[in-house]
Structure formats: structure tokens, C-alpha cells
Amino acid sequence: MFTGEYHHNLDTKGRMMIPAKFREDGYNEFTLTRSLDGCLSLYAVPEWKELEEKLQALPMTSKQARTLKRFLLGSAISCECDKQGRILIPQTLREKASLEKDVVLLGVGDHAEIWSESLWEENNDFSDYEQLATDMEGLGI
């Protein structure tokens, strides 16, 4: 399970360090793809395979299913950590997520999100605790 918030820098080649905690249990290979809120999603191979199976099972007759498959599968790439524990984020994905130098890696359970630090700061206002409590209740938590 991926948890925690990590602040990193992309180097000039677009490489980013993956925390050692995320590489436990032999996780050195990941799938990287676009995500819904303007960030990227990073999956360990077993979790990605589960999601991929669900996506493949969606009916081709559904426009929503085709759009979702294009969005997630069309931008997905396999990436492996180098000896320093870094992955290379391709330019196309960096552009889609507005990643420049300062990035935030956020563990959210079965995957991690990679955010532009400035975009993360705009999206992480969790100060309305009453609304969070209402949302949790609505989700059955």
C-alpha cells in the first residue's frame, strides 16, 4: 500500500526518485499513466494488472468505456527504477501533468499520484473538516 507525501525534484532528464518505502517487496517496475485530477498515477505491476483487467472487461459498445480506456491505457507506460531508485517520466506525460521541477509524490493506497507542486498546493485544501466528515459519511467510512 502506498501512503505518505514526498517532495522531490525532477532532474534535467525528467527523472524522479521513488521513495525506498515504495520499492519495498521488490517493487522496482511500475506503470505510469494519466490521472483524473491533472496529475499522474503510478501503479506497482500487480495493482496495474488488476486495473487493466477491469478496463479490458468493459464493453467496446460503450462510448464512456472507450474514452476511459483511451485516457488510461493510451498514455500508460512501463517504467523501471534505475540503480539510484529513479524513474524516467516521459516528456508527453510531464506536459500533461504540468510537471516541471518541483513535484509531489502522494501515496493513495493502491497507487501513488505525481503532482506538480504548484497544482498540488491548489488542490490540497483540506481545511473544511465538516465537509470531509460529511463526505466520509456519504462514502460509508
Cα–Cα distance measured from residue 8 to residue 101, given in angstroms and rounded to the nearest whole number? 8
pLDDT of residue 126: 67
Residues 6+ apart with CB under 8 A from 43: 30, 31, 32, 33, 51, 110, 111
Between CA 127 and CA 129 the distance in angstroms is 6
In the DSSP assignment, the letter for residue 121 is: H
Segment 110-130, tens digit of pLDDT: 999 999 999 998 877 766 667
pLDDT score of 139: 72
The DSSP line for 15-67 is EEEPPGGGGGGG--EEEEEE-TTSSEEEEEHHHHHHHHHHHHTS-TT-HHHHH
- Is pLDDT at 131 greater than 90 in this prediction? no
Question: Which domains does the chain show, CATH number per domain?
Answer: 2-138 (3.40.1550.20)
The grid coordinates of residue 26 equal: 521488490
Asked whether residue 89 carries a pLDDT value surpassing 70, the answer given is: yes
Residue pLDDT, tens place only, 35-88: 988 999 999 999 999 999 999 999 999 999 999 999 999 999 999 999 999 999
Q: Which helix (H) or strand (E) holds 91?
A: helix 91-96
Measured distance CA(103)–CA(96) in Å, rounded: 14
